Structure 1
Amino acid sequence: MPYRHRAYIAVAVLVAAVLVWVAPRVSAETRPADGFSVLFVGNSLLGSMTRATGESTPALVRGLASGAGRTIDVVEVIHSGYTLQQTWDDGLVAPALSDGRQYDFVVLQEYSTLVATDLAAATRTLRQTYEPNLHRALKPGGRVVLFKNWALVNPAPFPSTAAANDAIDRNYAALSAALATPHVIAPIADAFETLIATHGASFLIDPDGKHPNDTARYLDAVTLCGILSGESPRDLADLYLPAPVAAELRAVAATAIGY
């Protein structure tokens, strides 16, 4: 391979890595003083309810923000088991974009393993289906939030969890580099990996090996709340968790998003 081509590839990889590193943190100065609006599009990884309170992750985010003095207008487009493309094709997103409605953030959560196993399909969905509509869906200064899914307990088709995590990191970086719309990555998988290394997968993942348990839903919510508010999640409310557990999760989330 000519040196010039190798150099181009090296620069592309470096740019993708930088995007992943710096993307999560967003200044609070971009937030309206009286609140902001968020559209959540995803499946049961984002929309399943806590056993403790019966709230979805978006609802937890709204509650956490409210406790911190911020108002979030939340719209949920959730369909269990769907990819983002299926959610769009079934017309589920269209009502949330009707009448010229706009959002400060659009959170996109893809099917659990799609980004890691089929980057081309995930990229087509973002670039060809969602991105052409995001320009009118986002307010000036608005951003997309890419929800970075965690590795499942069964890593197949990858030979190990480490290999699955490598694919997740690599492909979300590539997805970020391919998306021209202003965006950030919610490093959910990174926070999961940190905590699972210490506590084991059952600390965060239900016995089905895929879905978040109540502890994980809180982790997801404080991570997203920190990104959306532009403020460290370290002082958010404990909600339904014991204070020491909640504090540990907030610390991991804060580190993952750069606080």
Structure 2
Amino acid sequence: MTKAFHTTLLTVGFLLFSLSASAQTPEKVLFIGNSYTYFWNLPHQVAAMAESQKINITTRQSTSGGTSLAQHWRGEKKLQSLQLLREGEYDAVVLQDFSMQALNAPDTLLHYGQQFANEAKAKGARVFLYMTWARAFDPYMQATITSKYEELARMCGATVVPVGPAWERARSLRPDIELYDPDQSHPSPTGTYLTACVFYGVFTGQSPVGLPIRLLSTDHAGEKLYLNIQSKEDALFCQKVAADILGLPFESPEK
């Protein structure tokens, strides 16, 4: 990928991010997606990052493996995404289509993304687009994925969450870092940690640098649940990559 393309991508990404950062942090967020959302409990990790900084973000998800926004819209696989959106009171809705949709069926991505965005806006919710990553074997996929999600963002006035570009940056700086699950498609715990750092930065407008390297939650009995555990080196690297992609400072948030 050329330097000029990187510059254009980051400029567009920063402008979209700035629109989000100027608004209040969403407190209730609905994630609509598939395994790229539920692997390693991404929504819970984002909430845990926020809680560590005394920021309240409550998340809910409607997910099923290998599912597209079209299938969510039609209520396939016993999903009730549209019902949840219409009946719930959410500050924000995150939309994530099937990982290959931008390449194999871009018109479907744009159509159903717009449909869900319209529904979210009718409920007063802001719309965030979870821009996913290229498969490990073909990094050149990212340009098309990025282009289509940015097109959808322009169509429906949504904010892009540039996870794919963050993964691309991380892989270029540290080819050794293992962002992928062994299937070379889904995220590893480190990949999900990086993804959560990007979401945290977009939702809060704050730098993720300095966030905990261990993300905790609790079960119904109040016992600790470890959502993610990263080394200091890998956690700081992910935090800095996310901050860099979003144009945020490399500063630790105030405690």
Which of 171, 174, 177 aligns to 1:199? It is: 174
1:45-92 per-residue CA deviation (whole Å, 9 max, x = no partner) reads 11112xxxxxx0000011110001011121111111100110221152
Instruction: Identify if the C-alpha distance between structure 1 residues 120 and 189 changes in structure 2 by more than 3 Å, giving closer, same or farther.
Output: same
Q: Aligned equivalents of 1:219 and 1:249: distance in 2?
A: 5
Give CA-to-partner distance per residue, 1:160-206, whole Å, 9 cap, x none: x22x1221222222222222xx4211110111011112333761011
Distance 1:19 1:81 in 2: 29
Superposition RMSD on alpha carbons, in Å? 2.2
Q: What residue number does 1:136 align with?
A: 122
| Count of residue correspondences | 224
Q: Which residue of 2 aligns with 1:167?
A: 144
The residue type paired with residue 144 of structure 2 is A
Give the TM-score of the pair, scaled to structure 1. 0.79
* Letter matched to residue 66 of structure 1: E
Matched residue, 1:233: 208
Q: CA separation in 1, counterparts of 2:22 and 2:161? A: 19
- Cα distance in 2 between the residues matched to 1:189 and 1:27: 18
- Secondary structure class of the residue paired with 2:66: coil
Separation (CA, whole Å) in 1 of partners of 2:85 and 2:42: 21
Task: Identify which range, 183-192 or 20-29, moves more after superposition.
Answer: 20-29
2:91 is paired with a residue whose SS is strand
Task: Give the structure 2 partner of residue 117 of structure 1.
Answer: 104
Pairing 1:252–2:241 present: yes
Residue 152 (1) aligns with residue 138 (2): no
Aligned to 1:3: none
In structure 2, distance between residues paired with 1:244 and 1:192: 16
1:53 is matched with none
Alignment partner, residue 183 of structure 1 = 158
Q: Residue 75 of structure 1 contacts residue 96 of structure 1 at CA under 8 Å; is this kept in 2?
A: no
Confirm or deny: 8 A CA contact 1:20 1:176 kept in the other structure: no
Find the residue that maps to 1:147 and give its secondary structure: strand
Q: Matched residue of 1:138: which SS? A: coil
Give the TM-score normalised by structure 2: 0.80
Of 82, 107, 129, the match for 1:94:
82
Q: Give the number of the structure whose alpha-carbon radius of gyration is greater.
A: 1
Judge conservation of contact 1:43–1:78 (CA < 8 Å) in 2. Answer: yes
Amino acid at match of 1:31: Q
1:103 match: secondary structure:
coil
Q: CA deviation at 1:39?
A: 0.7
Consecutive unaligned residues in structure 1, runs of 5 or more:
1-14, 50-55, 156-160
Tell me which residue corresponds to 1:10: none
Q: Please tell me whether the aligned partners of residues 86 and 119 of structure 2 are also in contact (alpha carbons under 8 angstroms).
A: no
CA distance in 1, matches of 2:209, 2:177: 23
Q: Tell me how far 1:16 sits from its aligned partner.
A: 9.6
Q: Which residue of 2 aligns with 1:6?
A: none
Q: Distance in 1 between matches of 2:117 and 2:29?
A: 16
